[in-house]
Structure 1
Amino acid sequence: MPGTWGSILIELIPLALVIALSPLSIIPAVLVLSAARPRPTGLAFLAGWVLGLAALTAVFLQLSDLVGGIGTKPPSWASWLRIVVGVLLILWGAYRWLKRASSEHMPGWMTRISALTPAKAAATAAALTVLNVKVLFICAAAGLAIGSSGLDTPTVWAAVLWFVLVAASTVAAPIVAYAISGERLDPTLNRVQAWMERQHATLIAAILVVIGLLVLYKGIHALAG
């Protein structure tokens, strides 16, 4: 069990980083701190984001239980799932790279995040986890990977918690830092926001390709073993 536990935690890191390092995750977390009440609005956004990630991952964890059974030996389809996920991520990253010139500006909905109230910020964050196809796709991959890992029932929920914490870390970082430091972070946040607005398309493409290669390798390695 210890080897399996350590293996699934390591496997979840690249999946979680697809969400954590996506500018479409980080930029809204920075923009929400420009709201009229930045502290409560930011914390509400973080709560909605975490709950959304946890709910999606749990749904697909339960789905894996229906098709295979939690706590059993990982089936061969789990390795093929990783291969499919890896290939799709690579193709997605290549597509985003080719389209990067037409994606230099942030989507219009992002610019409206700074006008949200705390309640709307929580609802928006939860909705973004479902409406963002990449987040939905990665949570599905994580939930199915955890459910097919061979871990028993209490341990799989600890793995879900680990995945959510890593995936939400870059959203939590600016919001928690602002809750502690307040307006002193405004200049830094403004620079980060401006840089990510210019580079978000290239960053997304590169991250998708790198993580796709890691997931693909994991699937091929599992089949070979």
Structure 2
Amino acid sequence: MGGVIGEILPLALGVAISPIPIIAAILMLLSPNAKTTSVGFLVGWIAGVVIAVVAFTLLSALLPEDDSDASKPIQGTIKLILGVLLILLAAKQWRARPRDEVAPELPKWMSAIDTLTPVKGLGLGVLLSALNPKNLIMAAGAGIAIGGGDLGTGQTVVVIVVFTAIAASTVAVPVIAYLAAAERMAEPLEALRGWLVRENTVVMAVLLLVIGVVMIGKGLGSF
């Protein structure tokens, strides 16, 4: 189980370091309905992560079994493909980085965050976590690792919980901190939001490149 957890850790971090949902969570915390909407968003984010990783773990069981004492070409090929996709996403993010001090454009739906209800916040959390292409690639890599790890049911649950806890941490921390100390968190959250708005494409490009290269390395090592 330890080896599988080690393999999914960078993938979970890849989901966790997602500036757009963190920005969305912060905007909710600075909105009139801060507590209810942000909690709904956090629940939706966690649910989306669980749905994605469980789905890919179950799908990995449909793959033909490799010889446990030899190479694993099927898993290796899938990891290579996922790694290449991550590098392509990294290149796309890098090209989209702001230049000449131009303010980065954020998704238009963010302007409506002040009007979100808890239910809509929950739905947005699910959409951003479960249907984001980058997160789907990370979840697919984790699912392949978990499904191919020869784990028992209990161990599989533990690994999925670890993946989810790490993947959801960056959204959970500001929400929980705000609920614990709303007045003191407003200024730090605004400062964090500003930094993420400026640097989100660069952060994502570097992160995706690193994880993509790691994924390709693991794929080559499976042959």
TM-score in same-fold range (> 0.5) = yes
**Superposed, which structure 2 residues align to 1:109-120 within 5 Å?**
109-120=109-120
Q: Is it true that 1:78 corresponds to 2:111 in the alignment?
A: no
- Structure number with the higher helix fraction is 1
Aligned to 1:93: 90
Deviations 1:130-171 (A, max 9, x none): 332112222122112211122222211211111111111101
Moved over 4 A (4+): none
Aligned to 1:172: 172
Q: Is it true that 1:36 corresponds to 2:59 in the alignment?
A: no
Counterpart-to-counterpart distance in 2, 1:146 and 1:76: 16
Judge conservation of contact 2:86–2:137 (CA < 8 Å) in 1.
no
Secondary structure of 2:105's aligned partner: coil
Q: How many residues align?
A: 217
Counterpart-to-counterpart distance in 1, 2:13 and 2:111: 24
Secondary structure of 1:104's aligned partner: coil
Deviations 1:172-204 (A, max 9, x none): 010011111112100000111111111111111
Aligned to 1:13: 9
Counterpart-to-counterpart distance in 2, 1:113 and 1:213: 36
| CA-CA distance at 1:110 after TM superposition | 2.2
Judge conservation of contact 2:45–2:122 (CA < 8 Å) in 1.
yes
Judge conservation of contact 2:33–2:114 (CA < 8 Å) in 1.
no
Judge conservation of contact 1:75–1:148 (CA < 8 Å) in 2.
no
Secondary structure of 2:32's aligned partner: coil
Counterpart-to-counterpart distance in 1, 2:158 and 2:64: 19
For structure 1, list consecutive stretches of 5 or more residues without a partner in the other structure. Answer: none
Counterpart-to-counterpart distance in 2, 1:75 and 1:221: 9
Q: Which shifted more, 173-182 or 141-150?
A: 141-150
Judge conservation of contact 1:68–1:75 (CA < 8 Å) in 2.
no
Aligned to 1:192: 192
Judge conservation of contact 1:105–1:198 (CA < 8 Å) in 2.
no
**Superposed, which structure 2 residues align to 1:1-225 within 5 Å?**
5-68=1-64, 73=68, 75-101=72-98, 104-223=104-223
| CA-CA distance at 1:125 after TM superposition | 0.6
Deviations 1:188-223 (A, max 9, x none): 001111111111111111111111112222222333
Identity, % of aligned positions? 35
Counterpart-to-counterpart distance in 2, 1:77 and 1:176: 41
Q: Which shifted more, 93-102 or 23-32?
A: 93-102
TM-score by length of structure 1 reads 0.89
Counterpart-to-counterpart distance in 2, 1:89 and 1:81: 12
CA RMSD of aligned residues (A): 1.9
